[in-house]
Amino acid sequence: MKRKIITIDEKKCNGCGVCASGCPEGALQIINGKARLVSELFCDGLGACIGTCPQGAITIEERDAEPYDEAKVMENIVKHGTATILAHLAHLKEHNQIEYLTQALNFLRRKKIEVNFETGNSAKECGCPGLKVMDLRRSETSKFDRDVPSQSELGNWPIQLQLINSLAPYFKNADVVIAADCAPFAYANFHNRFLKGRVPIILCPKLDRTIDAYVEKLAELFKNNEIKSLTLVHMEVPCCFGLVKIVEEAIRRSGKNMITKEYTISLKGKVI
């Protein structure tokens, strides 16, 4: 069957093993110094390992693969104890995989394995904090940020990386800000702090399926234009750090020597 499943770029993988430890399903192992997908049956294709890879070596592709089997996954997971079970259950819940979650819980009931799923600190162990449900609304009496601009500082269009023209005239001698597309929503003062006087480019390093094309487009943009400054803004969740890897690889391919400034935005809208 054709479904979403991870793929590993062996040239980028340095065998650090972070992805394997972040995959409670047990689909990844380090073999001969490289991360390997050892079982298509165990890979749910949700990409929890993407955000843990410091080299940006893991992506999701859609191809023919064996169907994911929750029962076989659970047989493997229960061998590793309660913490791994909780991490897997949270992983399914946070990705809204209700059918698989139900199958997993039914498996535990059949095996008479008791876990305190509702109260366990499973979300933290899962490695998917970007999907953790949180209510961040402030009370009506909260003070507003007086530095938030009253008008847009957007000076060009389009801004999504898939749509931009790398030869657009506004990139000549430009100060460029490349942002993960959640960052402007999380940080209220984004226009005044990061956008004013800069040419913006936005992308999602986790959900967009054109990462390789992004690297090539950015490399072309850097090669064809004298960029005065390059600012990167992304969220604090692990998957969002992939933006840095994309830009670093694009700079390498462009042959340019560029210095970047990197800013991380917390889920509560603060620069950290």
CATH architecture classification, 169-265: 3-Layer(aba) Sandwich (3.40)
CB of 127 closer than 8 Å to CB of 87: yes
Residue type for position 148 = V
- Its pTM stands at 0.53
**Cα radius of gyration (the chain):** 21
Task: Locate CATH 3.40.50 in the chain.
Answer: 169-265
Structure tokens belonging to residue 116? 């305190």
CB of 217 closer than 8 Å to CB of 160: no
pLDDT tens, residue order, the chain (272 aa): 888 888 999 899 998 888 887 677 778 888 888 888 877 888 888 777 776 788 889 998 888 888 888 888 888 888 878 877 887 888 788 777 888 888 989 999 999 998 887 634 433 444 455 545 555 555 555 555 555 556 889 998 899 998 888 888 999 999 999 999 999 999 999 999 999 999 999 999 888 877 888 999 999 999 999 999 999 999 988 778 889 989 999 999 999 999 999 999 998 899 98
Kind plus residue range of the DSSP H or E element containing 110:
helix 98-110
CB of 258 closer than 8 Å to CB of 227: yes
- Residue 203 to residue 91: CA distance in whole angstroms: 24
Per-residue exposure over 76-87, b if at least 16 CB sit within 10 Å of its own CB, e if not: bbbeeeeebbbb
Task: Locate CATH 3.30.70.20 in the chain.
Answer: 2-131
Within 13 Å of residue 99, how many CA atoms lie on the same side as its CB? 4
The CATH classification number of 2-131 equals 3.30.70.20
